[in-house]
Amino acid sequence: MAVMALDFRSANRFAIAYEAGWMMHIASGRAVLAERELNGNQSIEARERALQIRLQAGGKVEDISEMTPRYREVLEQTMLIAADLEMSTLGFNYPAILNAPTLDAKISIMSAVQDELGHAQVTYRLLEDFGYDTEELLFRRDPKFFRTFYLVQHPVNDYVTAVISMLIGDRAGYTTTLDIEESCSYGPYSRSLRKVNFEEKFHVAYGEKWTEYFWNKGPKTRKRIQDAVDFYFPLGATWFGLPDHMKTRPDQLQYKVRAQSNDALRQRWLAQVVPFCERVGIKIPAHFDREKGQYVLDYEMPILLNEETGKWDFRTVTWEEQFAQWKKGGPIKTETFRRLQDEVWGDDLW
Ligand SMILES: [Fe+2]
Ligand SMILES: [Fe+2]
């Protein structure tokens, strides 16, 4: 009986392996056909179909000639936003660099910002392959056309806030870029994020280390950590955008520019931030729901920040109200880039 069962399992395994192999064969066959269709003199729709099939079969894109206009548009927009987000770190961390309490702290924030500018540089460099000019994008683009998220549109005014910004904000950014590194169908972009993510991991670890230090140092620093988390946590939760059921353009997922949906990425972020805060003792408006088997927020999005008090109003508002706050942006939404463009650079700066 045991032998028969074993045989059955073996046969079953063989059947599964055979089927999987056959499916892969079909998929690769379809991919080859798709490739031919893509490279031939086909209509946009046919090229679009061929690319979709190829991507679904796990194919990668290595060159612009392999892209359809829509794929290219989605990819370019993704990289532009990513590069602008990295670039914004210089502006929002600037106050914390100026008033850092020790030379060590100052060098640490500057070093992290230097990493971020490197991340921006890598992505703007890739965009040059698509015809963009980095000099033009950075120094001659109207600051109102830079595209960033609400989280990075607030100044980081001191070292404790910088630490929490790394704990919450860098963790959010890292969650997104890790997904792109793991899954992006555009090979050059995916590979460029290996170094980026190595450094992001370090920023998050730095944030965790100093969060615990200040939390345990005394009641005053503990309060400052709690206040900064109170401010940053809801910003981190909205980093990943609209809930999945409200998304109108799932192109990034269709084209495998990234693999995980907004809600899945939010969940991945929560699964790291919530256990860390619970272990340290920091209060956060989220918990693990055993029945649902996932992390949930203790409030219902969307909520609004009172920019005058810096406190969140946890009453749920309409998405229109949320969009209005995002559209208006945080206090340094455009100032960050205006300053970048107006600053005296080069020899004169020193
Ligand atoms: Fe970065
Ligand atoms: Fe970072």
In this prediction, residues 255-274 reach a mean pLDDT of 97
Q: Distance, CA 199 to ligand 2 centroid (Å)? A: 7
Residue 242 DSSP SS3: coil
| 78: nearest Cα among 196, 180, 225 | 180
Q: Which ligand is nearest to the CA of 200?
A: 2
Q: Which ligand is nearest to the CA of 120?
A: 1
pLDDT, position 346:
55
Hey, which residues does 296 pair with through a beta bridge?
287
Query: How far apart are alpha carbons 252 and 258 in whole angstroms?
Result: 6
Q: Which ligand is nearest to the CA of 177?
A: 1
Q: Which ligand is nearest to the CA of 165?
A: 2
Q: Where residue 8 falls among pLDDT bands split at 50, 70, 90?
A: very low
Q: Is the pLDDT of residue 40 over 70?
A: no
Q: Distance, CA 20 to ligand 2 centroid (Å)? A: 40
Q: Distance, CA 322 to ligand 2 centroid (Å)? A: 26
Q: What is the mean pLDDT of the chain?
A: 89
Residues 6+ apart with CB under 8 A from 269: 171, 172, 175, 236, 237, 239, 240
Show the 3-state SS of 152-166.
Answer: HHCCCCCHHHHHHHH
Q: Distance, CA 170 to ligand 2 centroid (Å)? A: 5
Q: Distance, CA 174 to ligand 1 centroid (Å)? A: 7
In the chain, what percentage of residues exceed pLDDT 90? Answer: 83
pLDDT, position 335:
92
Q: Is the pLDDT of residue 70 over 90?
A: yes
In this prediction, residues 119-133 reach a mean pLDDT of 98
Tens digits of residue pLDDT in 210-239: 999 999 999 999 999 999 999 999 999 999
In this prediction, residues 252-271 reach a mean pLDDT of 96
Task: Name the residues around ion ligand 2, CB cutoff 5 A.
Answer: 170, 200, 203
Tens digits of residue pLDDT in 84-94: 999 999 999 99
Q: Which ligand is nearest to the CA of 167?
A: 2
Q: Distance, CA 198 to ligand 1 centroid (Å)? A: 10
Q: Where residue 339 falls among pLDDT bands split at 50, 70, 90?
A: confident
Phi, psi of 118, rounded to the nearest 5 degrees: -65, -40
